Amino acid sequence: MALNEMFESDGTVRPHYRAYAEWLAAMPSQRLDEKRAEADSLFRRAGITFAVHGEATGTERLIPFDLVPRIIPTAEWDWLQRGLKQRVTALNAFLQDIYHEQEILRAGVIPAEQVFRNLQYRPEMQDINVPMDVYAHIAGVDLVRAGAGEYYVLEDNLRVPSGVSYMLENRQAMMRLFPELFANCSVAPVEHYPDLLLDCLRSVAPAGVRDPTIVLLTPGAYNSAYFEHAFLAQQMGVELVEGQDLFVDDEVVYMRTTQGPRRVDVIYRRIDDDFIDPLAFRPDSMLGVPGLLMAYRAGRVNIANAVGTGIADDKSTYPYVPEIIRFYLGEEPVLSNVPTYVLRRPDDLAYALAHLDELVVKEVHGAGGYGMLIGPRASKQEIEDFRLRITSDPSRYIAQPTLALSSCPTFVESGLAPRHLDLRPFVLSGSDITLVPGGLTRVALREGSLVVNSSQGGGTKDTWVLER
Amino acid sequence: MRLHIRHETIYRYDRQVKHSVQCLRLTPRTEAGQKVLSWELQAPGRRIEQLDAHGNLVHLLTLDTPHEEIRISATGVVDTEVVEDSSPSARAGLSPLVYALETSLTSVDESLKDFAMGYAVPEMDEHQAMRLAGAIRDAMDYVPGATAVSDTAAHAFGLGRGVCQDHAHVMIACCRLQAVPARYVSGYLLSEHDDHIASHAWVDVWLANERRWLAIDVTNRVLGGAQHCRLAVGRDYLDACPIRGVRRGGGAESMQAQVRVSADALPRSPIGGRSRLLQQVQARQATSQQEQSQQ
Amino acid sequence: MLSRTADHLYWMARYTERAENLARMLDVNCRMTLLRQDEDAVRRRWTAMLSTVGQLEPFLAAHGDVSEPAAIQWISFEGSNPGSIQQCFDSARENARAVRGSISTETWETLNTTWLEVRRFRNHPLAAEVSGEFFEWVKFRSHLARGVLGGTMLHDDALKFTQLGAYLERADNTARILDAHLEMLAHQTIKFDDVGDYYDWGALLRSVSAFAIYRKVYRDRITPRRVAELLILHEPMPRSLRHCMSAVQHTLEELANTRSVETQRRAGEVDAMLRYGRIEDVLAQGPRSYLHEFLARTADLGSRIANDFLVSEAT
């Protein structure tokens, strides 16, 4: 039985939802319908859309926005925040170690082969020092709640996590639609995220640079997250650049402006490692900057997130994160991992093969839903097909129990009904580590569905962290 | 052996190129087994140099005035010798395991997998590695022009033809299938017939037992030796190739390369022969010192 | 600002202006042929028009012979014609899309709507009788785009690059329209001081929205000399070469950077040539030769602007 964020199992409203529930009960349903329509036009006018792959150019869709907020009580957030900071601190320490002394490998905590025989380990980063020893400046950690309400980390997104613009726009929409709600419930603000991000990026400028020039590097208007790139650049007041706007000369990165070349010190890139420099990685990349890696390795420019962070959020590293926290911080992890079977281990493999119909099996180098088996939902044939794939190369897979994700009342065709949720808070690491109270709550709009991805019918909600 | 090397590359473009950046790996590696007596790189534009992740010396060349051709030449003298341990990166930062991972150019298919598994051994050694190299060479004729630089190991193997790059990629792929680290080596070769071949590619295979890299020239079915001058190593061609560039504008490109490697009148050592190694080393060091004092 | 952003804004404006001027040129041709039923003359006009827009050869390759409906269709919508009105609107919209973050929502919506709606006209062949509606629509969309830019954008460098593009394009186009007109009459001797053929010269004036302006400025009958003067040298006339180049010169001064000194000098030279020029001298040189020289200078300015501001490879 999945936990409902708003109601106890006996149907009474949980204390932190009480103020909202009273307001909701007093709200005529017709008025709510009007508000939903208003929200729709708000988002459309603001151009908060995402491009859909495979459809004609110009096709843009809204991500459905749900009016019922996901509310997190103060104490719970304090605890979550502590866990998130701990986790991201440890992962940054892990990256620093992996790309330098590799003590964790020598200590035998993680098999060396696990790290080095992984495309996400970037030899180019070996022995390169990065400012503040920070690699994952922006982390979008995916959390879910299961069963009795315990939180689990599902994924540490340390490469180019997206979605923060929805967090900000959702809040803005809620405040415009229901100003009276915010007067009654003390919701912690999230609007200062762009300021924190800018501070974070400034703090990791190359040594000696006093007033760094920061740019946001986007793959361009055809990228599905382009709206977010433009939004963040505008909110931070930094230039939104494409690869062709930058060039490298004498280990320095410049942008081409109408007033001539202007030096760039920090690049907040929203392009994958593989595409940022055609001379270093994929030669067919049209999105990158030739020679950027050499400037970066020489320490003349900083890149956020650093090149090579993928080794820390890879599914093959994930099962080791609790050990990573213990190793670097000497602390017990605050946040739990989802119990994970590492199929390269014979015992785990045997268990998984015997319980495929209960497990979620994921490919370690896969991303977002591809190469994945959801046991309870798969047909016999699909399970058998997957069994063959696993046995031919078990080291490519991990398996996890299917979690009963928590749910929250959500507006659907038939009215309010519980739908499953996850939560992605954004953790910023620079000279210090900060996060705004909240995050992006994604909701699976189809009944029973556990898939919250916007490309597969997911929606979003405003996320409230209560101040008292 | 003293190798005199002259390598000239000319790129010509149909239309003017407005801006181009070239990444050059055209300087012999500093490592046991070869000593650079003199080396000169001539190329237009501004350049910077840096050691890359694999310990290769890289020059980044920036040309921002319109041009219709680029001429790059590398000239120099290198003393080479056969050494037991040619394992610079065993000491350097990178783990050999980095070279045990499949890359897209060294990717395999079922047929190459089946082939490789026929040569799987519990522990890679010199004999086994040479046996594998010989089998690859038997399966793949040396046919210039049969493949393109972007072709994968599986593709070339399927064709049964290729050039040194393909032989190297297939060898690397077969080693990696058995979790044996192997890396791509780009460099120059002094050939039997003095005035041809020259720009060449071969492989280093990691012998875990002996904790060293073993150089194997698959194309010529020999161990790497004094005829080989090493420019760069990497996971595959893309990491180690002599010139990699991007440009804006220019239309179609044609490339013309000429390499000439010749040896001093020093006695040529038979391939794989190591008996006179020490004498050679001494002789080489003596001559090089003499030369330096003359300068 | 980023050179790429400036480049997109500049071309967004140029393409929009170009679409408008194509419609103007088509319009004058249609008006002329409505009045004259002489088939040879009609064919000559459309042949000249296709040649002016550099499409005569591809058109003949596709159609074999010149006919009015086919020529209108070709210049308005033909997909293989990179300079058709529809392609201009497509390009304007593509450029706008690439810098959506740097333009106002209204500007984007205007160009996007134009792009969507131009397809509405494409599917019925445009006979001269119904084409007027389309040309008016094209002009109206261009007016709207210009107004929306000025009325909703911050008046900073971004807007100035759109103005630079629009004025340079308009100067080029007005010169071409006049040149094409003179070419059409090349088989006869033009008596510049006599009263011109009312329909010929009247249509030309209308094509640049200058019929009423002419009346207001000269309060007299139409002579080719005055038409040329109005279109080339008259500052207050918004589509005259003088007006456009004065704006180009002025805008360039505001945008100046360390590389653009020579470009500014050349723009100033063109401006002075028009500012202090006299129609007698233009006619003495030969108006077509004068216009060709002018077109070469605007082309040179265009490529210099591109080098100095828009694609700055040099460091």
pLDDT for res B282: 30
What's the rounded mean pLDDT across residues A97-122? 94
Instruction: Determine the CATH number of domain A339-401.
Output: 3.30.1490.270
pLDDT digits (tens, 9 = 90+) for A122-142: 999 999 999 999 999 999 999
From C153, C184, C205, give the residue that closes a domain.
C153
Q: Are C186 and C57 in the same domain?
A: no
Q: What percent of chain A has pLDDT over 70?
A: 94
What's the rounded mean pLDDT across residues A387-407? 90
pLDDT for res B280: 35
Q: pLDDT tier at A56 (50, 70, 90 boundaries)?
A: very low
Give the Cα separation of A73 and B238 in Å (integer).
53
Which has the higher per-residue pLDDT, B268 or A10? A10
pLDDT digits (tens, 9 = 90+) for A409-428: 999 888 899 999 999 999 99
Q: Does A286 touch chain C (CB under 8 A)?
A: no
Q: Are C147 and C283 in the same domain?
A: no
Q: Are C126 and C168 in the same domain?
A: no
Lowest mean pLDDT among A26-35, B161-170, B200-209, C259-268: A26-35
For residue A70, the SS3 value is strand
Count: domains in chain B: 1
Provide the ipTM. Answer: 0.86
Q: Does C94 touch chain A (CB under 8 A)?
A: no
pLDDT for res B16: 87
Mean pLDDT by 10 residues, chain C (315 residues): 94 96 89 76 86 91 90 91 94 89 88 88 68 91 96 94 97 92 80 78 89 92 93 96 97 94 97 96 94 96 93 48
What's the rounded mean pLDDT across residues A204-228? 92
Q: Are C116 and C242 in the same domain?
A: no
Q: Does C255 touch chain A (CB under 8 A)?
A: yes
From C153, C172, C194, give the residue that closes a domain.
C153
Count: domains in chain C: 2
Provide the residue range defining the domain that includes C234: 155-315
List of long-range contacts for C29-33, beta carbons under 8 Å, 24+ apart: C30/C68, C30/C72, C30/C128, C30/C131, C30/C132, C30/C135, C31/C199, C31/C203, C31/C206, C31/C207, C32/C199, C32/C200, C32/C203, C33/C68, C33/C128
What's the rounded mean pLDDT across residues A429-438? 96
Q: Does B46 touch chain C (CB under 8 A)?
A: no
The secondary structure of B166-182, three-state, reads HHHHHHHHHHHHCCCCE
A249 and C97 within 8 Å at the Cβ level: the answer is no
Q: pLDDT tier at B181 (50, 70, 90 boundaries)?
A: very high
Would the pLDDT of A456 be above 50?
yes
Q: Other CB atoms closer than 10 Å to residue A5's CB: what's the count?
A: 22
Provide the residue range defining the domain that includes B215: 2-294
Q: Are C179 and C271 in the same domain?
A: yes
For residue A117, the SS3 value is coil
The mean pLDDT value of chain A amounts to 91
Q: Are C308 and C211 in the same domain?
A: yes
Q: Which of A34-48, B63-77, C191-205 has the highest mean pLDDT?
A: B63-77
What's the rounded mean pLDDT across residues A233-241? 93
Nearest to A250 among B48, B53, B244 (CB): B48
Would the pLDDT of B233 be above 80?
yes
Domain ranges of chain A: 15-206+301-336+404-465, 207-300, 339-401
Q: Which single residue is written with the structure tokens 């350049």?
A: B47
A279 and B101 within 8 Å at the Cβ level: the answer is no
Amino acid at C65: D
Residues of B with CB under 8 A from a CB of A: 19, 21, 23, 46, 48, 50, 52-54, 58, 60, 62, 64, 93-95, 97-98, 100-101, 103, 179, 235, 238, 244-246
Query: Among positive and negative, which fits the CA dihedral A307, A312, A317, A318?
Result: negative
For residue A332, the SS3 value is coil
Nearest Cα to B99, choosing from B207, B188, B200, B24?
Answer: B207
Q: pLDDT tier at B125 (50, 70, 90 boundaries)?
A: very high
| First-to-final CA distance of chain C | 16
**The domain over range A207-300 is classified in CATH as 3.40.50.1970:** no
Would the pLDDT of B17 be above 90?
no
Q: Are C201 and C57 in the same domain?
A: no
Q: What is the CATH number of the domain that holds B121?
A: 3.10.620.30
Q: Are C98 and C180 in the same domain?
A: no
Residues of C with CB under 8 A from a CB of B: 311, 313-315
Backbone angles phi, psi at B95, to 5 degrees: -75, 140
Would the pLDDT of B130 be above 70?
yes
From C126, C153, C180, give the residue that closes a domain.
C153
Would the pLDDT of A59 be above 70?
no
pLDDT for res A364: 82
Give the closest-approach CA distance of B200 to chain C in angstroms.
Answer: 35
pLDDT for res A366: 52
Q: Are C105 and C12 in the same domain?
A: yes
pLDDT for res A41: 80
Q: Are C100 and C167 in the same domain?
A: no
pLDDT for res A47: 62
Would the pLDDT of B227 be above 70?
yes
pLDDT digits (tens, 9 = 90+) for C142-155: 999 999 999 999 99
pLDDT for res A372: 82
Q: pLDDT tier at A183 (50, 70, 90 boundaries)?
A: confident
pLDDT for res B221: 94
Q: Are C167 and C314 in the same domain?
A: yes
Q: Specify the DSSP class assigned to residue C232.
A: H
pLDDT for res A48: 63
pLDDT for res A455: 67
Q: Are C139 and C251 in the same domain?
A: no
Q: pLDDT tier at B271 (50, 70, 90 boundaries)?
A: very low
Would the pLDDT of A91 be above 50?
yes
Q: What percent of chain B has pLDDT over 90?
A: 57
Q: Which single residue is written with the structure tokens 């009580």?
A: A73
pLDDT for res B273: 27
Which has the higher per-residue pLDDT, A98 or B268? A98
What's the rounded mean pLDDT across residues B149-159? 94
Dihedral, CA atoms, B103, B108, B109, B113, nearest 10 degrees?
Answer: -140
- Which H/E stretch holds residue B38? strand B34-42
Residue in A116, A246, A252, A253 to test binding to B, most B beta-carbons within 10 Å = A116
